[in-house]
Amino acid sequence: MHSPFLSRRHVLGLTGGTVALGRMTTRANAIFPGLSEGYANGDGARLFCVWAGAGPLMLFLHGAPDDWTLYQSQLEAFSRDHLVVAPNLRGFPPSDAPKVVEAYAMPRLLNDIHALLRHWGREQCVLIGNDWGGYFAWVFASAYPSHVERLIILNAPHPVIHLREVRNNPAQNHVSQYERDYNTAPPPYPPWFNYYRADPIKVPRSVSDAADLEMPDLAARFFAGVAEPPVTTSLRVNVPTLVLWGMQDVTLLSGQLEHLDNYAPDAVIVRVENAGHYPMRSHPDLVNRAIRDFLARTGLKSKRL
């Protein structure tokens, strides 16, 4: 789901409360004052997290092959009046990396989000996600709307739209072919390849070959074995939603936005014309301002608890 041309790994390990960032080792609170680090227990996997601030919870989910550092600008900006939390998802050190493919299936990730809410003693959050993190966020917000005050998506496909695009849009099918390599790579391979292997959406060799692939029942796969029964399995998101989309994304094309209102009727779409897959990095001020405006416009006030 990520761009194969943008592969990066920043967080490499944790020793004595120190995060390894590339060749440079630094404490998390050296990124900006007040940033803390530690672990939360997910669904059978320990998740490394950073957090800062106080107030309403904002939970930031990264994609592959990234980590919490993707949101440094947003963590600093919103920690002034929110509790900001950014985990490394399972499979991304120093979080645990289970070996079995099914440990990376949607139900386990949904359970992880529930566990993070419990860890911080919250019933609700503003849920933010990019790439795989946004993919999970779409599903979580659809199934558990009472736990999501607002949903903010940055270049992350809604599963139903993504399934449509890889099967029917030749351009999206073409740029998604790298996913086929991740599904067939021989071991050893990075643990995060298992997100692709566990996902029911498989990219056909071409649009003309799509009919040869079984149409997956997304809801059946996404909610099998979840810890908390979903309110709905429709995959429709009925919480206020902001979609920020870098229009120069080379692997998630703008077709992902077409007819999105069928599944997110309250979504506000902001197209960032000269941004790619990571608008939060390339245009942090624009993204931060858009998020603040959205929260204010939808009546969610920032206040310390």
- Assigned domain for 279 exists: yes
> Which pLDDT score, from 0 to 100, does residue 12 have?
26
DSSP-derived pairing of the beta strands 46-52 and 36-41 = antiparallel
pLDDT tens for 140-173 read 999 999 999 999 999 999 999 999 999 999 999 9
Q: Average of pLDDT values for 114-138?
A: 98
Q: Indicate whether 305 belongs to any domain.
A: no
Domain with 17 in it: 4-297
Q: Which runs of E-coded beta strand occur in 78-219?
A: 83-87, 125-130, 148-154
pLDDT at residue 29 above 90? no
CATH code for position 11 = 3.40.50.1820
Of 140, 77, 97, nearest in space to 287 by CA:
77
**Range scoring the smallest mean pLDDT among 29-38, 160-169, 229-238, 266-275:** 29-38
CB 235 within 8 A of CB 263: yes
Chain position carrying tokens 């440079």: 24
Query: Is residue 276 a contact partner of residue 251, using CB atoms and an 8 Å limit?
Result: no
In a domain, 267, yes or no: yes
Predicted confidence at residue 11, as pLDDT, reads: 29
For residue 203, the one-letter residue type is V
| Domain membership flag for residue 216 | yes
State both tokens at 278. 């990571």
Share of the chain above pLDDT 70, in %: 90
Residue environment code for 136-156, b if the CB has 16+ CB neighbours within 10 A, otherwise e: bbbbbbbbbbebbbbbbbbbb
pLDDT digits (tens, 9 = 90+) for 45-70: 999 999 999 999 999 999 999 999 99
Number of separate domains in the chain: 1
Both tokens assigned to 120:
């911080």
Residue 92 lies in a domain: yes
Q: Which amino acid is at 262?
A: N
- What are the structure tokens assigned to 136, written together? 């999970």
Whole-angstrom CA distances from 177 to 26, 154, 161, 174, 304 are 37, 22, 17, 6, 46
pTM comes to 0.92
Residue 230 lies in a domain: yes
Residue 192 · residue 133 · CB < 8 Å: no
DSSP 8-state code for residue 102: G
Reported in sequence order, the residue ranges of 155-256 that DSSP labels E, i.e. its strands, are 241-246
In tens, the pLDDT along 253-290 reads 999 999 999 999 989 999 999 999 999 999 999 999 99
8-state DSSP, 186: P
In a domain, 302, yes or no: no
Q: Whole-angstrom Cα distance, residue 203 to residue 167?
A: 7
- Does any domain span residue 175? yes
Higher pLDDT, 157 or 23: 157
Residue 44 to residue 66: CA distance in whole angstroms: 21
CA angle 237, 281, 109 (to 5 degrees): 40
